[in-house]
Structure 1
Amino acid sequence: MDTAPFTGPVGGHGGAHAVAAARRHGVDTMFTLSGGHVFPLYDAAVKPEPVMRLLDVRHEQTAVFAAEGVGKLTRHAGLAVVTAGPGVTNAVSGVATARFSGSPLVLVGGRAPDARWGQGLLQELDQPPLFETVTKRAWTVHETGAIASAVDEAFTAANGAHRGPVFLDVPMDALYDQAEAVLEGGAPAPDRSPDPGEVAQVARLLSEAERPVLVLGGDVWLDGAEAAALEAAEELGVPVVTNGQGRGLLPGGHRLLANRARGAAFGGADLVVVAGTPLDFRLGHGLFGGKDGAPLAKVVHLADSADQVAGHLSLAASASGDLGALLRGVAAEAKPRPEAAEWAERISRSAAEAAASDADVLASTSDPIHPARIYGELNRVLDDDAVVIGDGGDFVSYAGKYIEPKRPGNWMDPGPYGCLGTGMGYAIAARLSRPSSQVVTLFGDGAAGFSLMDVDTLVRHRLPVVMVCGNNGIWGLEKAPMQMLYGYDVAADLSPQTRYDEVVRALGGGGELVTDPEEIGPALRRAFDSGVPYMVNIATDPENVYPRKTMGV
C-alpha cells in the first residue's frame, strides 16, 4: 500500500477532513458499524471519487479486528470507525489485541457533542481514558479545522516503530461542522539506524557461542525485515525458532527451522538471540538453557525500538532500530564457531525426527476424530500463499504444531493478548488484502461463538473464506486443567456437535458437518472450491486435548 502524496487545502465537514487525511496514508477501506455520531465520515468516504470502501460489520469488535488484520498483513495501519459510547467500548478488546501484537491500527470514535457536554447526552462518555493503557496515544480533537492534522498524526504514530494502535475521538458537532484547513506535508521518518557498537557486541557473542539459537517474531515481518532475516539465518547457520506472525520467515521444511525441536533447542542453548518479539510467557520469560544441570543461556534481545527491549532480566546484550539493518549487520560481523554448525545439524535432525513421528497421528483413523487428522488433511490442500488464521485455544494449539507457513506474513493469530473472536475480522482483512490467496480460519467451537454472526458480513460483501471448526463440545484449555487442579470441572462444557455449519448456511454461506475422518479431505476441497463463505464443522474427540506443560502463567 503506497502512501498518497496529497498535501494542500481540505474543506467541507469534519468527516471530509478525516477521510482526506486517511487517504493520504493509503487507506482504501473503512471498517465500521453504522452510527449517527459518525455519519460525516461515511459521507466523505462515498464521495467524491475515489470512493473509500465502507465495510460494515455486525459487531464493532469485528471492525477493529479487521482493521488490525489489515495492519498485520499490509504493514500499514487499517482504519476502524465506531459510534460513540457502546460502539467505542465494544472496540476496547480489539485495540488491546493490537497493542500487545504491535499491529498498526487507527480507531476513530464518535463522541457526544461539545456544545451540550455535561447535560446527560446520549452516550456521553469521556472515552480516551479507556484507551490510555492500550494505545500509543488516545485523545479528542475538538476543532473541525484540526481534524485532518489529528488523523494524520494518528496514522503516523500507528505506523511508526514500535507499531501499535492509536485512538482518536471527535465530538459530533465538530465532525458535522464545516471548516477550511491545510493538510501539511508529513515529517521525515526518524533515523532508525542501529548502534554499530551494539551490533558488534551481539556479533561477538554469536561468534563465541557453541549452541546458539535465533528467535524471529512478528515485528521482523512488520518491520519489513523478512528477506534480511532469512539471509541472516542462512549466513549464520543457526537453529531458528519462529513465533506469532514471525511464522513463515523461514519456510516450512527449511533445514534450520527448529520449531519441531523447540524444547531441545531452547533446553540446550548457551545463547539465544531473540529478534522482534517480547520475552514473554511464550518464550519462558527469557529463561533458556539449564538442561541437564547446565547454566542458563545468555540472552540477547533485538527490538524495533528501544522501549521494547526487555527490562525484567539481565541481558548479555541488546540492540534496537531497524530490524533488517540489525540482522544484516550482525550476520556480516559474526564468525560462528565450528561447534555451532554441529549443534545446528543436531537440532535439524531432532526437528526432522519429530516431523516424521507425526505421520501416524496426522493420518489417524480414530473415531471420534483426532484433531491432528484435520491438519494432516489441510496441509494437503493449502497453497504456498494461503493465509491461515487461528482463532481458538486447544484446536489452534494443534495448528501451531502441525502447520508451518511456506511464506512470511501468512499466519495470523490473536497474539500474546489471547483474545478470542479475532477470526472473522482477520478473515475479512485477509480476503481484502490477499484477494488471490486461499483464506482459512481455524475456529475452536468456543471461539466460533464470539463472531460467527459476522458470516453475514462475508456474505453481504461477497468475501469467500473457508472456516474449519474443531468441534469437541468443550472449552479445551479450561476443562482439563480444572480437572487436574480440583478433580472436577464446571463451566467448561458446550453442546456436543453444535451445527455451526447450519448457522453459516442460514446466513447465506455453505457448510457441512463431518464425523468421519475419511471425509475431512473431500469436505475441505468442496469448501475451497465453493466460492462462498463455507464452514467445515468437524466433530473431534474431547479426550484428545493438546498436551501442555504449563498454563502459560
Structure 2
Amino acid sequence: MKSLTAGEIFLESLRSHKVEYVFGVVGHTFLGILDAFYDSTDIKFIGCRHEQSAALMADGYARATGKPGVSLVVGGAGATNTTTAIAGAYVANSPVIAFCGGTSLQTRNTSVLQETDLVSSFKPITKLATLINKPHRIAEFVNLGFHIATQDRKGPVYLEIPQDVSVNRSVAIDDQHFSEIPLLTTKAADQALISNIKKVLVSAKRPLLLAGENCTDSNANQKIEELSTLFNIPIVSTYGHNDVVSNDHPLYIGPLGRAGAPEAGDLCKQADVLVAIGTKLGHFDTYYDNRYISQDSTLIQIDLDTTFINQVFPATYSLTGDINQNISLLLENDMSTVSLEHRDSWIKIAQSKQVQRLDRLHKETLLSSAPIKPQKVYAELRKVLPKNTIVSMDAGGCVAYGYDRLQCYQPRTFFSSLDLGCIGWGYGIALGAKIGKPDCPVVSINGDGGYLFHAREIATAVQHDIPVVSIVMNNNAWGSEKVYQRDLYQGRYVGADITNPRFDKLAKLFGGDGYYIEHPDSIGDTIAKALASGNPSVIEIPVDPEELPASAHALKSIKKI
C-alpha cells in the first residue's frame, strides 16, 4: 500500500497505459489533478485555447498512433464544448479518453456553478460515460475506460471526476489497482464458412474488395493487399479511408462515395461479388441505395462484430471477429492449381478505370488559369508531399476535391470527419497527429470558413512547437452550401458569402510563418518550403469562387423530395 493524492493516482494510472500527452484547458474543478503534472517529466499537459480543440487534438493523436488520446477539461461549458469532437471520435471509432473535472458531489442538485448532467449528455456519443465517486477508484475507472475504448470496435469514453474527489488529500492505494485489464480474444471463424467464401472468391467473374475504417484498427492493411494479389481482385477504399491500402498497389482503383473517384463507383456497380471489409457501408459510402452496390451482386461482409452486418444491404456471407485473423484464414489457400482466367476481362476493365483516373488527374496538373482552381492545388500537393505525410481534411467545398486527388501510401495518414461532416475539424486533428507522429510531415487542408473555427490554435502550435502546415483555400464563401443555393434556389444566396482576414498575416501575428500564393506555379515550391521550415505555417491560396463541387446524386435526391 502507498499513500497518493488523487492527482498522483490519476498520473500513475495514465502512466500504466503509457500515456505521454494530455490535451486540455486549465479549469478550477480539476486543479488537484493538474497540480500533479507540475512534477511530471514523462506525461506532458498540452494547454489549448478551446476545449473542443483539446478533444480534437486527443482524437488526432489517437488516429495517427492507434493509441488512446487523452483530454482533460473543466465541467459545464468546458465539457459541453468537447461534445462535437467526441461525437467525431465516436463516428470514427477513435479511442479518446475524455476526462472532465465536474462539480463537487456534495453540492450537486443545488444549481451550483457549471452543474450539468454531463454523463447523460455524453452517453449517446461514447462507449462509456460515468462518474468517479471516490479518489481510490480513479485507477479502477481509468483502467476500465482504456479497456472499453480499445476493445473490439474502438471509441471514446467519458470519465467525470468531481472536484471534491480530486482534491489534494492522500489516500491509501495498492499497486494492483494500476494493472491493465487484458483485451479479450475472439474465436476463430467457422472453417466451413471460410471454405464457402473461398469458393465464391475463386468462382466470381467480377469480384471487388471494398475496404474501410476497421481494417486499419485491426492492422489488416497488408493482409488486404495480399488477399487482392492472391485472388486477383481489385480494391476500392471507402469514403475518408484512402489510406487503407497503399494507393500504388497495382489493383487499387480509388476511393468510393461522396467526392470519390467516379471510376471506382463505375467499377463497384459492375461487381458480381462485393467483399466489404471493415466498413459500415455508410451514407457517404453508398447513399443507402444501389448506385454503387448492385441488387444482383453477392455481398460478403467481414467486420469486427454484427453491428453493421445486414443493416442496409443483405449479406450472403458474413465473417465477424478479428479482421486480420479472418483474412489470414482466407489466405490459407493453395492457389497454384487454381485458374482465374475467367476474370481476365474484369481485370482489364479495372485497369482501364485506373488509367482513366490517372489521365483525368494528370490533366489537372496542366491547369494554369487564374483564379487558381482547387484541383490545381491538389495536383501540386501530389508532386511535393512525402509518402509518409499525414493529411487532415476539414469539411467544405474546396476540401472535398481532395478525397479523389490525394495519394496515400501508409496507414493512418488520411483523416476526415467522415459522416459527421464537421466543419472546422481539421486543424485540431492535425496538431494532435503531429504530436503523436513528430517525424511525419502533417498538413491540414481547410477552406476559409472552416479554418477560422480553430485558427486560435495557431497560438498553441507556436507555444508548443507543433510544426503543422495549414493550407487555406480562400473563396470567401461557405462553398458547400452556396452550391445548393445556386442549383436549387436560383442563386438566391443568403449567408453564403463571407469576408476574411489575410490568413498568412494572421499566422505571423501569432508568431508562425505565413505564405500567400498568387500564381499556381508557386504552389509546390511554397508547400515544400513550409514543410522544410520546421515552423507552424499557414499558406493562403485564393481560389476560384465559381469552382464549387456539386454532389449531383444528392441534388437529385433532394429534387425528388
Q: Quick one: distance in 2 between partners of 1:306 and 1:488? A: 45
Match of 1:278 among 280, 304, 316: 280
Q: Does 1:164 align with 2:167?
A: no
Q: Quick one: distance in 2 between partners of 1:347 and 1:289? A: 18
Q: Which amino acid aligns with 1:185?
A: S
Q: Quick one: distance in 2 between partners of 1:83 and 1:108? A: 9
> How far is 1:174 from its partner?
0.7
Match of 2:39 among 43, 47, 53: 47
Counterpart in 2 of 1:4?
none
> How far is 1:341 from its partner?
4.0
Instruction: Tell me if structure 1 keeps the 8 A contact 2:205–2:343.
Output: yes
Counterpart in 2 of 1:316?
316
Instruction: Tell me if structure 2 keeps the 8 A contact 1:221–1:249.
Output: yes
CA distance 1:10–1:492, change in 2 (3 Å): farther
Q: Quick one: distance in 1 between partners of 2:434 and 2:236? A: 28
Give deviations 1:489-542, integer Å, cap 9, x for gaps.
434434356411111111111112222212222321221222211111000011
Counterpart in 1 of 2:218?
223
Instruction: Tell me if structure 1 keeps the 8 A contact 2:486–2:493.
Output: no
Counterpart in 2 of 1:190?
184
Q: Does 1:109 align with 2:75?
A: no
> How far is 1:307 from its partner?
2.7
SS in 1 for 2:236: strand
> How far is 1:288 from its partner?
4.8
> How far is 1:53 from its partner?
0.8
TM-score normalised by length of structure 1 = 0.93
Instruction: Tell me if structure 2 keeps the 8 A contact 1:209–1:336.
Output: no
Give deviations 1:32-66, integer Å, cap 9, x for gaps.
01101111222223325x43111011111111111
Instruction: Tell me if structure 2 keeps the 8 A contact 1:72–1:222.
Output: no
Instruction: Tell me if structure 2 keeps the 8 A contact 1:288–1:296.
Output: no
Counterpart in 2 of 1:388?
391
Q: Which amino acid aligns with 1:477?
A: S
CA distance 1:81–1:163, change in 2 (3 Å): same
Give deviations 1:459-504, integer Å, cap 9, x for gaps.
0001111111111111111111122212134344343564111111
Match of 2:122 among 117, 128, 131: 131
Q: Quick one: distance in 2 between partners of 1:10 and 1:365? A: 69
CA distance 1:298–1:365, change in 2 (3 Å): same
Counterpart in 2 of 1:3?
none
Q: Quick one: distance in 2 between partners of 1:45 and 1:202? A: 53
Q: Quick one: distance in 2 between partners of 1:245 and 1:359? A: 22
Counterpart in 2 of 1:38?
30
Counterpart in 2 of 1:27?
19
CA distance 1:289–1:431, change in 2 (3 Å): closer
Q: Quick one: distance in 2 between partners of 1:118 and 1:162? A: 35
Number of equivalenced pairs: 542
CA distance 1:547–1:456, change in 2 (3 Å): same
SS in 1 for 2:439: coil
Q: How does 1:85-484 map to 2 (within 5 A)?
A: 85-176=76-167, 177-182=169-174, 183=177, 185-196=179-190, 197-244=192-239, 246-259=241-254, 260=261, 261-285=263-287, 287-288=289-290, 295-333=295-333, 337-484=340-487
Q: Does 1:534 align with 2:537?
A: yes
Q: Quick one: distance in 1 between partners of 2:65 and 2:524? A: 31
Instruction: Tell me if structure 2 keeps the 8 A contact 1:446–1:475.
Output: yes
Q: Quick one: distance in 2 between partners of 1:518 and 1:93? A: 38
Q: Quick one: distance in 2 between partners of 1:517 and 1:526? A: 15
Q: Quick one: distance in 2 between partners of 1:340 and 1:159? A: 40
Q: Which amino acid aligns with 1:277?
A: T
Q: Quick one: distance in 2 between partners of 1:307 and 1:46? A: 43
SS in 2 for 1:248: helix
SS in 2 for 1:132: helix
Comparing 230-239 and 53-62, the one that deviates more: 230-239
Identical aligned residues as a percent? 24
Q: Quick one: distance in 2 between partners of 1:46 and 1:449? A: 32
SS in 2 for 1:470: strand
Q: Quick one: distance in 1 between partners of 2:442 and 2:194? A: 39
Comparing 543-552 and 138-147, the one that deviates more: 543-552
Q: Quick one: distance in 2 between partners of 1:531 and 1:186? A: 37
Counterpart in 2 of 1:64?
55
What runs of 5+ residues in structure 2 fail to find an aligned partner? 255-260
SS in 2 for 1:258: strand
Over aligned residues, Cα RMSD in angstroms?
2.1
Give deviations 1:86-127, integer Å, cap 9, x for gaps.
110001011110111011110011111011222221111121
Instruction: Tell me if structure 2 keeps the 8 A contact 1:439–1:466.
Output: yes
